[in-house]
Structure 1
Amino acid sequence: MPLVGVIAEHLGTHSGVDMSFDSLVLALVLFILARVFRHGTALRDDLEGTV
Structure 2
Amino acid sequence: MQSHLMQANQTRITVLQYSNLIGIVINFVITAFVIELCSSMILLRAMARQCR
Q: TM-score range by the shorter chain?
A: 0.5 to 0.7
Q: Report the Cα distance in structure 2 between the residues aligned to 1:47 and 1:21, rounded to whole angstroms.
A: 39
- Quick one: which amino acid aligns to residue 34 of structure 2? E
Q: Is 1:26 the counterpart of 2:12 in the alignment?
A: yes
Q: Is 1:43 the counterpart of 2:40 in the alignment?
A: no
Instruction: Show CA shifts across 1:24-46 (max 9, x none).
Output: 00000000000000000000000
SS of alignment partner, residue 30 of structure 2: helix
Q: Larger Rg: 1 or 2?
A: 2
Flag as ranges the 4+ runs of structure 1 deviating above 2 A: none
Per-residue deviation at 1:20?
1.0
> Which of the two has greater helix per residue?
2
